[in-house]
Amino acid sequence: MKILNLYAGIGGNRKLWGIEHNITAVEYDEQIASIYADFFPSDMVIVSDAHVYLLEHYKEFDFIWASPPCPTHSNARFWSSKGGMYDVEYPDMKLYQEIIFLNKFFKGKYCVENVKPYYDPLVPAQEVGRHLFWANFIIPRIDTKSNYIFNGEDKKRVEKMLGFDLSKYNIRDKTKILRNCVHPEIGLAIMERALNIYKSENVEQSDMFADLQIP
C-alpha cells in the first residue's frame, strides 16, 4: 500500500507501521524531518509544505494520514490566550480545507488528526483519547496511555512510552515534539483498519471482474 504521511513530525503515528509499505513522509521543519529519517530510513522523507504537497500528489496514494498544526485549535492554547500568555489568533482553516478536500476528491482511505478544539468542530469527527479524527471509515476504539498530559509529566517516561529516544539530538523544545506525537498504538490501529478495508475492496473488485464472461 502506498501511504502519504503528512505533517509527519518524528513519526508517532507511523512508529508501528513496519517496513512493508511504500511510505512518503512530508515535514516542513528540516531538523525534525532529519530525525524522522533516522527513525524510519526506509521511508521517503520530503521537506516541504504538506498542505501544498497534498494538493499536488494526492492521486499517487492509497492511504493518506494528515496531522495539521493544532495550536490555533487547542483548548489549552485558547484559555492561555484569554489569560494573556499568547496572542489571540484566527483558527487555521487549512485543517478543514484538507478534510473537505479529501472527503470529496480522494479515492482512497484517509485520516486527519487534530486536538479537541475549544469550539464545536465545524465537521463532525470521531473521538479517541485526546484526539479528534476525520476519516472515511470507522476509527477503531483503542485503550492506550495516549491521554498523558505534559503538566509535570516526566519527559523521559513519555519518551519510553512512545518509543522515541531524543537524547542524542540537539533540538529545542523536545517536550513539544513529543506532545505532537499520536500514540503509536492508535496510529497502528487506524492504519490496520484502513489496510483491511483496502484489501477487502481489492478482493471484491477482483471477484467482480472474475465473474465477467469475456467471449
pLDDT digits (tens, 9 = 90+) for 6-31: 999 999 999 999 999 999 999 999 99
pLDDT tens per residue, range 143-188: 765 445 444 456 777 888 889 999 999 988 888 899 889 999 999 9
Does the predicted TM-score (pTM) go above 0.85? yes
CA distance 37 to 188: 19
| Domain extent listing, the chain | 2-210
What pLDDT is recorded for position 209? 43
**CATH number assigned to the domain covering 2-210:** 3.40.50
Per-residue cell: 116: 479537541
- Percent of the chain, pLDDT > 90? 64
CA distance 131 to 125: 10
Residues 35, 166: contact at Cβ < 8 Å? yes
pLDDT tens per residue, range 101-124: 999 999 999 999 999 999 999 999
Band (75; pLDDT cuts 50, 70, 90)? confident
CA distance 7 to 50: 6
Report the DSSP beta bridge partners of residue 203. Answer: none
> 87: helix, coil or strand?
coil
What pLDDT is recorded for position 203? 65
Per-residue cell: 94: 487549512
